[in-house]
Structures are given as structure tokens and as C-alpha cells.
Structure 1
């Protein structure tokens, strides 16, 4: 769809803020609750990314603005090999954009549905990579709250990366989260208990439970508990307290031991951090430096002869979508001369959203880090460049201060 995005050369200010014109739209690859995702190529560097775009009016209508801004705020703080990292954010009058790492190996949900066999060695590497990501998030005081196969993507070599921080939250100073957040089949028991006022709250341990559910589902093709999105909290409580999880006798015994500790109903008895995870015999032979540096070759490499996702996303974008992305520029130019038929309240909220939105550029953020390191080492050679970066840093801080977004945990 994006190959016909433009037949003429466009003048781009490559030294200015990154915007929609800096990318060539290639094809749609997915959609979520509040946005869609397509493959893009940055015109100057030719580097490929995934670009998630969220319609502002729809976000306001679905009361999702706080989630979107909080996700961007969190991702700007993070960088890890087993996360889907954020590179750029920008906006126009219709949409908010997030440009992130492109992972072409498909999500684990897709591979489970394709009937791919997950053996113990493959599971071990996945568990170790996810555990390192969860440990990093915990050090950054972040609970993901939606760890599930749909949100674990594979890269072209088969390594896993956690994505979608739409309902993540920040916990500091021993505070607990209390909101009913997540996808029910993967939510830890204490989240439901908190909702029923039978628990004070929950912490990072809920993500480790969710990992346990994912691993079990990969191995067996179904989840350990028969919980669905339509299940009531009372039904879920009954299922969790009356079901005995079945572990087939053919499974590796040390792997079963890890799963039992991840799926402990009581978070006090659960494996809930990297230190406890390291104590399991199943991972006793793991070279953790090699895992972190992606030196261990995955036993499964996703097929490269096709996109590992549902092909209907692109058809929907081309045929069904009322405002297709590849026609955005022409559409905005047309409506620029027309009075927009938006009621006063929505217009006001759109204006507030535009003001709260924080533009982000990881390339610039990395330049700031480099200059700080150079200054600390006494190696800042170009005073003008240093001043430019300082100005850029101060501008970014001002924007973040103006757009500080907080919400219930």
C-alpha cells in the first residue's frame, strides 16, 4: 500500500523534528485496542521500523488518552534488548504516532495458533529472556500488567521482545497497584482479590504469574486455568481455588518445578524476581551474559518467506479503513480549507491533548547522553554542539513538565 505513497520528491527538513513525512508507509501488520500498526522506512537512514498510530478523536471517545500518554511516558524511560523500544513520537491533527523497533518474527499467539511445537530448550531461552526483561522493568519500578502471547514478539532470529505498555504503571516507594487491569486469563489471583477488597493491592509479582501462564500455554496449547475474558470475578475465584493444574508426565521435571513456582496462588510463595528464578535447577546451566547479549541461538527461527501475522490487516487498511494512512497527506490538505465539524467540547479536548503530547526522539536523547558523558570525561570538543544539545535537553524537559501525566495505579 505504501509503495504508491508518493511519486514526487518531497523536501524534508532532516534536521528538524521527526514527523510523518520522514517515513515511507509500506504495509499494515496489526491492530490493537487503540491503534493500528504498519511497517515504515525512515527516508534518510532507510532503517525499518514499526509505526503505531492512534486516532485522537477515537482515543477521546474511548477514554484512552491517559493510557496512550502514560505508555509514551514510560517507554521514553526504557531501553532493553528484550523490549520493543520506542524511537520517535510525533503527532498531527488526526493521529498520535509511536515509532518503535520492527520485529518481523510474529507474536507468540500467532505461532501457538500455527501449531508450532515448543520444546524445553526453546522454552528455556524464552523464559530467560522474559525474566531479564521483567527484572529490568522491576528495577525501573514498572509493572507491565499485560504479559500474554499477543504481547511477546519474536525478531527475525527468534529472540523475544515484550511490547504494549498501554496499561503499565509505575510503582515507587513500596506502593501497591489497586486497579483491575490486564487480560483476565493471564491476570494473577491477587488482582481479582484486590478488586474484591480481599487484598491490599499487588506489585511486580503479577507479571511473573502471567509469564507462567504463557509458558504453560506454549507447552500445552491451552492455559492452566479455564478462564476467559467473559468470566466473572466470582467464577474466576472459584476456578482458581478448585482447579488442580495438570502437568503431563512427559514434561521435563525441572521445568514443571519452575512452572509450579510461577503459578503459585500465593505471591509470597511465587517466583517473583530474577534472584529466585536463578535458583531453579532448570536454568542452572544458563550463561546469563550470553542470553543478555543474544549470543544463544534460538532453536526456532521464524519463517522469512512471509510476514508472520494475519494478512487481513493490510486488506482492512486498504479496503475497509475510512481514513487510510497512505492517503493522509492528501486528506489533511483537502480538509485544511474546510471548517471542521467538531463540537466545542471535543475540539477543546483535542486541543488539550495536542498540548499534553510530548514529542520524543531517541536519536536526540542519545546525543544528550553522549555529551553528558563527554563533559564528565572532559572531552567536550565542540562548545557550540554542546550548547545545542543542552538547549534541546532543556526544551524536552520543559515539554515533559508541561505534559506531566499521572493516573490511578
Structure 2
């Protein structure tokens, strides 16, 4: 137990969300959110004040919990059954969201998911809440994430990697056509279905490019997969996602990432040299493809993977209709690490216990976290007022 507490403390204080003045930061964040809400409602009669309605509590009972298939920074991911269909259900703890000052990102993800539907992303079907948690119901994919399989396989062949990259490219093209930049493309956010096709998930730090606000200097994502322009707090866009794709290619090829360490370490490595790969057991086109994605300058980076010689004559039409035989199939029944899930779940449990007090006075920040996706009209299924109040 003592070892676990040490791990929890190390995780909390190494988190990018924590700092020496974290308690003060949390209070400032909540204070600003309160002020924003009050300004929005200041001209409304008191009789119109929104009352907390947790009749949604009963919705969870409609889902039969099967098992925990993952644990993330905000809570568990369950395999559930609803009306004889299998789904994945994210259980997002409100205390963890408040502690990490992530109300806007949680609201943003739900807003995007209600507007999107595509066979190469993990789609949403419903969102609701109770007093402790938010719930997001998604496609269930049984193949596990690419990180799990990289851990088992260490490396992948050129043929397998090309298939993975083609799947990711189709998904990114769709997101970018909607002016959405994912900003956190990494193996943990790439999930296999049972036919070996990859889908993109987790839009928590995604942004939408607007003509009125064309520049973005805020840094988000995962060190090791962040593009140089993000790490150096420069304006960034679509090329940032393709740099991350290059890192994934490099990892599939070599079994490791091109850059390691803290953000500071990675920045220094990028300043020292431009990464180049030249693997003799991969084709020259594959080597060049990865090198083009990993270029430091975003204006020189490859952002149209289909046009590269590595994908010459590749049957993207068959891939898009999922008529290709995948070169790598997840064969395990449980494509996730049960031991790691237990450790991370206990860590989250201890952190939640210490920060339970954050929920009581801030329930209203989650008032609009709810939706029921209508397949015929996904864009009219939710009102996310807090999204606009907080930005």
C-alpha cells in the first residue's frame, strides 16, 4: 500500500495539470467558470434558474456492465450491453475533471462527437450523468489499442504499418475536412476492431479552426508525439497531426519513438538534429514517407499521404469500404492489460477520494453534459451552453 501511495503521489505531482500552486490554480479556474456562468445568467429572471436534474441517474441502469476494458486520466471504460447491443462506456469522474481543470475539453469532445460520424473514428451514441460521474457511450471495438499491440509485438512489418497508416489517413482526412485538428494522435488513441481496422478516438484536446480565429498557440497533446510547432508554442494546424502519424510509423518500424524524455528534452533533441530513417529491410519509399512526415518545419511536411509514392496504386476505395483483408488481426479475447488496469484504477480511486469536495459546489458546470444521438440529425442533438461560456 505504501508503494501504491508513492506511485499515486509521483503521478499527481508529475502531471502537467499540477503545479506547486495547483490548489490556487483550481480555485482560480472554478472562480472564472462561476463568473462566466453568472454573467450569462445575470439578465434572466430568478424563476428561470436552472435546477439540477439528476433523473438521468436512472439511465445508467439501462446499461448492463460487463467488465472494465480500460482506465484513463478521468476514469474507467466499461464494456456494456444496451438493448442487445455491445458498447463501450466511458465513466468520467467529475472530481478528476475539476482537478485537472478540464471541463472545457470534456464539453468540447462531446460537442464534436455529436457532429461527427465516420467508420474510421469511434462514434458516440449517448451521454448522461449522475452526481459523481459523466457517461459517454461509444462504439465498442474488441481489438484493443495500438499501444497494447506494440507492447506485445514490439515492431510491425512494412505491409502492416502501411495498412495502419492508410486507416489513420482516412480518419484524419475526414476530421480535417470538418476543420478539426485532433492534436493527440498516439497509439493509445488508435483502436482495432475485430477485423484489424484502426479507428481514431479521444477528441479531448481537439480544436476547430475558425476563420475568425485562424491562429492557435496553446500547447496540448502528448510529449513524444507533439510536433515541433506545438512544443515550441507556435501556431499549428493540420501538419501537427501528420507529424504524430510520422512518429507512429517510426515506432512501428523501429520499436521506439524518435524523441524521448520530457518536453524540454524533446525540444533540445529537435533543435540538435532532424531525425532520418533508413531501414534496409523497408522500401526506400517507406523510409522517405516517414522522413517527410517528421520534417521539423510544418510548411515542408507531408500532409497528403495518399499522394506519396509509398501509396502508389494503393486500393483506398476498397479500404474505405472495408473490403481489404487486414494484414494484422488481434487474436486475443482480451486485448488489454488487466494488471495495468487494476493499478491505474486504484490510483484514480485514491485521487478521487482526496478531491471529492470539488464536486459539491460545481455540479452546475456539467449541466449540459447530455445527449441522445439521432442518426438522422446528429447536429441537433445537444445544447452545450457551457462550451460557449467557458471559451
Whether TM-score is above 0.5 comes out as yes
1:84-127 CA deviation, whole Å, 9 max, x = no partner? 11111011111100010111111111111112541111111111
CA distance in 2, matches of 1:175, 1:320: 39
- What are the ranges of 5 or more consecutive residues in structure 2 without an aligned counterpart? 1-55
Query: Whose Rg is larger?
Result: 1
Aligned to 1:307: 334
1:125-171 CA deviation, whole Å, 9 max, x = no partner? 11111111111111111111110111111111110011111111111
Aligned to 1:30: 70
CA distance in 2, matches of 1:321, 1:60: 13
What are the within-5 Å matches in structure 2 for residues 2-401 of structure 1?
A: 19-42=59-82, 44=83, 46-115=84-153, 117-173=155-211, 175-193=214-232, 195=233, 199=234, 201-225=235-259, 227-228=260-261, 230-232=262-264, 235-243=265-273, 244-272=275-303, 276-304=304-332, 306-312=333-339, 315=342, 346-350=359-363, 352-357=364-369, 359-362=370-373, 365-368=374-377, 396=381, 399-400=383-384
CA distance in 2, matches of 1:319, 1:178: 35
Q: 1:295 to 1:342 in 2, by over 3 A?
A: closer
Q: 1:236 to 1:317 in 2, by over 3 A?
A: closer
CA distance in 2, matches of 1:342, 1:289: 50
1:335-356 CA deviation, whole Å, 9 max, x = no partner? xxxxxx986x853311x12323
- What are the ranges of 5 or more consecutive residues in structure 1 without an aligned counterpart? 1-15, 324-340, 373-392
CA distance in 1, matches of 2:347, 2:108: 30
CA distance in 2, matches of 1:184, 1:265: 15
Aligned to 2:36: none
Structure with bigger RCO (C-alpha 8 Å, 6+ apart): 2
Q: Out of 308-317 and 17-26, give the one that drifted further.
A: 308-317
CA distance in 2, matches of 1:175, 1:319: 42
CA distance in 2, matches of 1:76, 1:238: 40
Q: 1:164 to 1:319 in 2, by over 3 A?
A: closer
CA distance in 2, matches of 1:320, 1:61: 14
1:24: Cα distance to partner?
Answer: 0.3
| Aligned residues between the structures | 330
